[in-house]
Amino acid sequence: MAKAKTVSPLNKWLAGDTTYQQQLAEYNRALAEYTAQFNRQKSITNRDYGESNRALQLQGTQDRTDQQNDFAGRGILKSGVFAKALGDYNTQFNQRTKALVTGQNDKLADLTSQRSNFNRQTNLERNSAKQDAIRRRAQRLGI
């Protein structure tokens, strides 16, 4: 036979305290809205990064082809001049790629930090609401 779960008098009070329950409902709604906004911003950041990265890669391919054709047209494709120009371009290209990745990582880190701060603040407000409900109970019971 299963043992009946007992509910403490305090938990019964909290469950029946309409002010406390309304506050919890508001915090839960705010958290759900914030989570949806967070997920939307994260999705937009990842989408924008993907589009920018694809465009950068395509541009890099086109630039290298144009550079190769330019040097071939001048008859110096197999020269050290071409090798240096290509190396310089690749260095600049890698810097742009790194900046793009860094921008995405920074944005995602900011979003995550903001979410952590929101969650921490919401938990503080929930605890405060619970303490207020406990004070109302103590006052009503004359404790």
Classify residue 38: in a domain, yes or no: no
Distance (Å, rounded) from C-alpha 41 to C-alpha 9? 43
Residue 40: inside a domain: no
Q: If we measure between CA atoms, which residue out of 39, 41, 22, 36 comes closest to residue 125?
A: 22
Q: Tell me the pLDDT tens digit for each residue of 4-46.
A: 678 898 899 999 999 999 999 999 999 999 999 999 999 999 9
Instruction: Give the separation between CA 105 and CA 70, rounded to whole angstroms.
Output: 36
Residue 85 domain flag: yes
Residues 6 or more apart whose CB falls under 8 angstroms from that of 22 comprise none
* Counted domains in the chain: 1
Q: What would the pLDDT profile of 38-57 be if each residue is shown by its tens digit? A: 999 999 999 999 999 999 99
Domain that holds residue 83: 75-120
